[in-house]
Structure 1
């Protein structure tokens, strides 16, 4: 497998600073080995059009974007996605839907900070974002016990 640095250099040489890529492109979150790609630690992006800027390290996908990131049990769809490799940040815009471990979130723009596992969602103007969280049975917080009353003195 070609390293991300060699791939970026090849893109810059072949297409200039911005390259149109085929329909599917696997973004390397770290320099992946073949076993990492096959075991699912890579982030797969499928879209109508994809561009990679070798200078800035930004990959942009537009049109019917589908993302699969098995390492985080994450799947997403949107109109556009940008992966900022230097910050390890994924910005999804336009009809965003993310599903992770059974939990879901919808919004107009969602920023996913990969290293922090943090999602920040923004709605369309005058709208709201929607999240659905699964809460496992039996994990409710224990009910507080009422304080003991002092013994009654006769």
Structure 2
């Protein structure tokens, strides 16, 4: 299966695109110091831990289920959920069940379901029944390290 390479906001699709499928290193990526990550060249390497992982190369679907933990060290991001599915033919990533995405800067998103479209770089987060989606992120102006005031802002990856 050939997966498209694209810069991503969230972890699973980027790692699968860069690595081809699933990668489980012998040394935990999260043990690497943030300063070492900043100095090291980007590798596109993603670590996926789950109770079960499977790839359907014919349909272009990669599924991880049960205690899913995804680490994208290049971006300093970690995501956890009960299930993660990457639909390479559609360019869609779906995380379901107690979704929690956090980066080393403390930016965070919590939801029950998260759908991310790679091509349009659009995301929809859905809450658990009767609750709300939670997100915490830093707003910044384009090309500036100062917090945004009235201009449109982007989420810092």
Pick the TM interval, shorter chain.
0.5 to 0.7
- RCO higher in structure (CA 8 A, sep ≥6): 2
| 1:56-89 Cα deviation digits (max 9, x unpaired) | 1101111110112234443100000001112232
Once residues 48 and 89 of structure 1 are traced to their aligned partners in structure 2, the CA distance between those partners, rounded to angstroms, is: 22
The answer to whether structure 1 residue 58 and structure 2 residue 61 are counterparts is yes
In structure 2, runs of 5+ residues without a counterpart are 3-13, 26-40, 151-157
Question: Which structure is larger by alpha-carbon Rg, 1 or 2?
Answer: 1
1:74 and 1:97, CA in 2 relative to 1: closer, same or farther beyond 3 A? same
1:55 and 1:140, CA in 2 relative to 1: closer, same or farther beyond 3 A? closer
**Aligned 1:105-144 pairs, distance under 5 A:** 105-135=109-139, 138-141=146-149
Q: Is the 8 A contact 1:98 1:104 kept in 2?
A: yes
Once residues 119 and 73 of structure 1 are traced to their aligned partners in structure 2, the CA distance between those partners, rounded to angstroms, is: 19
Once residues 27 and 132 of structure 1 are traced to their aligned partners in structure 2, the CA distance between those partners, rounded to angstroms, is: 23
The answer to whether structure 1 residue 79 and structure 2 residue 87 are counterparts is no
| Count of matched residue positions in the alignment of Structure 1 and Structure 2 | 115
The answer to whether structure 1 residue 91 and structure 2 residue 99 are counterparts is no
Q: Is the 8 A contact 2:99 2:114 kept in 1?
A: yes
Q: Is the 8 A contact 1:29 1:43 kept in 2?
A: no
Once residues 71 and 117 of structure 1 are traced to their aligned partners in structure 2, the CA distance between those partners, rounded to angstroms, is: 19
1:31 and 1:61, CA in 2 relative to 1: closer, same or farther beyond 3 A? closer
SS in 2 for 1:102: coil
Once residues 82 and 129 of structure 1 are traced to their aligned partners in structure 2, the CA distance between those partners, rounded to angstroms, is: 20
Partner of 2:37: none
1:51 and 1:29, CA in 2 relative to 1: closer, same or farther beyond 3 A? same
- Bigger mean CA offset, 121-130 vs 94-103: 94-103
Q: Give the RMSD, CA atoms, in angstroms.
A: 2.9
Q: Is the 8 A contact 2:86 2:94 kept in 1?
A: yes
SS in 1 for 2:17: coil
